[in-house]
Amino acid sequence: MALIVAAILFVMVSGAILAFGYLHYVRPLRILDQLASSNSDMTAMRYSKEKKKPLTVSSFLEPLGNLLPISAQDSSIARRELIAAGYRSNSAVAVYYGVKITLGVVLLVGALLVRSRLDNPLLRIILPIAAAGIGYLGPGFVLGRLVGRRHEQIRLALPDVLDLLVICTEAGCGLDQAIVNVGNELKNVHPAVSEELSLVNMEMMAGTARAEALRSFAKRTGEQEVKKLVSILIQTDRFGTSVADALRTQSDYLRIRRRQEAEERAGKVGVKLVFPIFFFCLPALLVVTAGPGMLQVFTNLLPAMSSVSR
């Protein structure tokens, strides 16, 4: 028990020291350096307003994540996954690792508090290790689910995007203007695709070539259908073929594939229902149908058989 209390006090004191150091030393020095490197009054006003911003959870998680030694390769992989999930801020990687550290410490402390009630000495050793591992690795699984959900949203929105691109290009708009119009139209219906198309438009306005902006779009999302679409757009732009025909063909292909995936899932329903029916529905059905008969057997037949045997 004394070890648990000491661990809790250590975590609390360390967190208080880190928060105090960040608020009173690290953050003011960063703001002063930024103010010293700027000569405009507007920049000074902007940083003074930033200094008055209220504290958030990320402001405590970011310095905690910066304490963890991370290799450049792991940091780039985490940043790529966070971008694919829709988190693009500069502090996203530090906050992500801060969440992992915080959750691991919290679950470890909880496991240390609970293990005194366990009788098995092996579980007393395994439980804290497993709790810390789950707390550290859990955000990675959650991030993977978020990436998969965003991929699904983009994949389901692509047929609508292609149809609108076809309409815009056949109406006389160029591909750049068509991307702008589609991004604005789908802002409320498909926000994920609208955000990505807006980024493509901003990259092209900043001077990036159209092919490079489209490749960045495919690289950010990581979705296979987006990569195919980008390849089609780049090839049509390179060889001068009709963009509307290529987009219409790709849209028809995506709709056919969506229907085939729905039919495939419907065909698997019968197989997936075997186990719930066998373990849940069948026992209840047996209790309802055979239960009264079994009660009659136990109340009437068994006493008669026992009396005959005597």
| CB 243, CB 232: distance < 8 Å | no
DSSP code of 120? -
Q: What pLDDT shows up at residue 183?
A: 85
Distance CA 162, CA 174 (A): 14
Residue 279 lies in a domain: no
CATH of the domain at 256: 1.20.81
The one-letter code for the residue type at 278 is F
The one-letter code for the residue type at 244 is A
Concatenated DSSP letters for 129-150?
HHHHHHHHHHHHHHHHHHHHHH
Q: What pLDDT shows up at residue 41?
A: 43
The encoded tokens of residue 86 equal: 């829709």
Residue 192 lies in a domain: yes
Residue 221's alpha-carbon distances to 59, 153, 169, 200, 272, in angstroms, are 27, 11, 24, 12, 31
Residue 213 lies in a domain: yes
Domain-ending residue, one of 252, 267, 282: 267
Q: What pLDDT shows up at residue 107?
A: 87
| CB 220, CB 196: distance < 8 Å | yes
Residue indicated by tokens 């438009």: 201
Residue 138 lies in a domain: no
Residue 231 lies in a domain: yes
| CB 239, CB 154: distance < 8 Å | no
Instruction: Residue count of the chain, please give it.
Output: 310
Mean per-residue pLDDT pooled into runs of 10, the chain (310 residues): 62 64 54 47 41 56 73 83 84 85 86 80 83 86 89 85 85 83 86 86 85 86 84 81 80 83 85 85 85 79 67
How many domains are contained in the chain? 2
Residue 221 lies in a domain: yes
Distance CA 95, CA 146 (A): 16
Residue 131 lies in a domain: no
Query: Which domain, by its residues, includes 255?
Result: 150-267
Q: What pLDDT shows up at residue 43?
A: 41
DSSP code of 222? -
Q: What pLDDT shows up at residue 177?
A: 85
Residue 89 lies in a domain: no
Concatenated DSSP letters for the chain?
-HHHHHHHHHHHHHHHHHHHHIIIIIHHHHHHHHHHT---HHHHHHHHHHHTSPP-HHHHHHHHHHTS---HHHHHHHHHHHHHHT---TTHHHHHHHHHHHHHHHHHHHHHHHGGG---HHHHHHHHHHHHHHHHHHHHHHHHHHHHHHHHHHHHHHHHHHHHHHHHHHTT--HHHHHHHHHHHTTTT-HHHHHHHHHHHHHHHTT--HHHHHHHHHHHH--HHHHHHHHHHHHHHHHT--HHHHHHHHHHHHHHHHHHHHHHHHHHHHHHTHHHIIIIIHHHHHHHHHHHHHHHIIIIIHHHHHHHH-
